[in-house]
Structure 1
Amino acid sequence: MEKPRTIPSVFTPQWLPLGSLVLLLVTLALALTGCAAEKKWQYLPATRGEERSIYVIAHGWHAGIALPAEELGDELGFVREYLRPGRYYEFGWGEAEFYQADKITPAIFLKAVFWKNPSVMHVFSMPAEPAQQFPGADMVELKLSATGVKHLKDSLRTSFKLDAAHRPHPLKGGAHGEYRFFTAQGYYLITHTCNTWTAKVLASGGVPMDTVFTLRSGGVMRQAKDARKEYLKLRPDRAEQEGMQ
């Protein structure tokens, strides 16, 4: 098995020297972090056999969504043409220059924070299960119904900018096909970050998420974990099984 992948620089930008600006951004994010207290699960699986697993994974500032390869379907199967074969595929959305940069400069950071910018999709082909691929990472497994997964995949697909033949626009990629960027739909704003996008995609699949003020990966993960707890309450048979493990 391939050695677990080290989280790349696109997930861990080196902009810590910009202390005051980082503090300003974090303070703004904390002030605007919403909650999903009034949200409810949608498209719940009717039986345990209908449950489909997806994963929410935090990489520093950014949180992505991973699906098993067999769940790509017609909606997302096109990514296989641009990537090595994988067991899971992780999807993320973000500001085009910031997300693709090998090194984050002050200019790139300021542009991402204070301007309306184009966006890209990032897809990573994972040869191992998420827990093995990212050991120690903050992640949560969620159970969706087939209907929920279908809606989530439709949302992911519409995040790609496709041409008239329904093909994506590939951009920068890994040397071995481990990841690829694609031109995306929508603009990145300080009020609509990669994590706002992640929350919206999860909500499309029926997960109770705040989709307005979820600006930080911590907000995504907290709500995803709360959603998992609520799901277990709604499915006592699943809660009992988890308690026995």
Structure 2
Amino acid sequence: MTRLATTRSPAQRPGAAAWLHAALSSAPLAAALAIGALHGPCRSDTPEPPAVTVYVVSHGWHSGIVVPAALAQAHDWPARREFAQAQYFEVGWGDRAYYQAADPGWWMGLRALLWPSPGVLHVVALPGPPQAAFPGAPLLAVRISHQGAQRLAASIAASHERAGPLPSAHTEALQARRLPDERGADGAPIAFGPALYGQGRFYASTERFHLFATCNVWVARRLRDAGLDLHPAFALTSGMLFAQLARHVPAPPAPAASAASVASGAPIVPAAD
């Protein structure tokens, strides 16, 4: 009788089980290494959004921020809807009564400094670059990141005070006298009169003005929201603010020496502005 040859199972062969287990265990690792070699190191293919240039302009004691109009549109500023043709917006901030007064006296200014009072935003639509809108005025260009620019625009948008529900008695009185509600719809920004110059408007602000929260301090706070290393408490005046901002503005390149000056060994004197 012919006996069929029998083959022992892997369990019956010494070391076979261990070899099979090792092979199966290493398969996922090998597959992962192969996929990684095909795709290369992990990295994001999305480019970093470009930085944004904003400006700070000085009007003597007062300063303002100039931002591209696209930032205002992205964060639904009311001025963007009203002045849709603007390329830039200059935003200032100050005491609500003093800033809008046609002829504010010294007493009004002193009262604004000593007693915390409601603030107001002064938004001016610029049809072109700020250098053309404010010729001769001190102006600093500051580069901030794309994310910082979004935070800056969002913080300015958040400063707008919006109309809330009126007391029922006030509403009934307006309806009885057939008078319009000048505060606008519930939740809408509260707008005041036209800007002091150019095309623009005043808007109510949720923030309060006082001696240690001036217009320059407000500008420093907004730029700090954008990521700049500023100390708003030490920016009470526009001069103090600009001194801090100078650290964030690249120095102009040194003037190139002429061939004649180099040859003669004469000292190089920068040209006067």
* TM-score after normalising by structure 1: 0.70
Partner of 1:199: 220
What number of residue pairs does the alignment pair up? Answer: 190
Residue of structure 1 in register with 2:54 after alignment: 54
Q: Is this contact kept in 2: 1:58–1:139, CA < 8 A?
A: yes
| Moved segments of 4+, more than 4 Å | 174-177, 242-245
Aligned-pair identity (%): 28
Note the aligned Cα RMSD (angstroms): 2.7
TM superposition shift of 1:113:
2.1
Unmatched tracts of structure 2, length 5 or more: 1-46, 165-185, 257-273
Q: Would you say the 8 A contact 2:83–2:125 is kept in 1? A: yes
What is the identity, as a one-letter code, of the residue corresponding to 2:119? Answer: S
Q: Is the 8 A contact 1:152 1:201 kept in 2?
A: yes
Equivalent of 2:232 in 211, 217, 220: 211
Distance 1:176 1:117, change over 3 A: closer
Q: Distance in 1 between matches of 2:187 and 2:149?
A: 21
**Which deviates the most, 91-100 or 108-117?**
108-117
Query: Counterpart of 2:200?
Result: 179
1:113 aligns with 113
Q: Is the 8 A contact 2:73 2:80 kept in 1?
A: no
Is the partner of 2:213 in helix, strand or coil? coil
Deviates more, 1:101-110 or 1:203-212: 101-110
* Unmatched segments (≥5 aa) in structure 1: 1-46, 233-238
Whole-angstrom distance in 2 between the partners of 1:129 and 1:48: 25
1:16-51 deviation per Cα after TM superposition (whole angstroms, max 9, x unaligned)? xxxxxxxxxxxxxxxxxxxxxxxxxxxxxxx89611
Task: Tell me the alpha carbon deviations over residues 128-176 of structure 1, each in whole angstroms, 9 at most, x when there is no partner.
Answer: 2111110111111111111010111111111111236542100011499
After the TM superposition, which residues 1-245 of structure 1 pair with which residues of structure 2 at under 5 Å, given as runs? 50-83=50-83, 85-163=85-163, 166-174=187-195, 178-229=199-250
- Bigger relative contact order, structure 1 or 2 (CA pairs below 8 A, ≥6 apart): 1
SS at match of 2:227: coil
Alpha-carbon contact 1:63-1:217 (below 8 Å) kept: yes
Which deviations, in whole Å up to 9, do the C-alpha atoms of 1:177-236 show, x marking residues without a partner?
A: 70200110111010111111110000000111112231101111121121123xx7xxxx
Counterpart contact for 1:191–1:213, Cα < 8 Å: no
Aligned-partner Cα distance in 2 for 1:84–1:154: 19
Contact 2:54 2:68 in 1 (8 A): yes
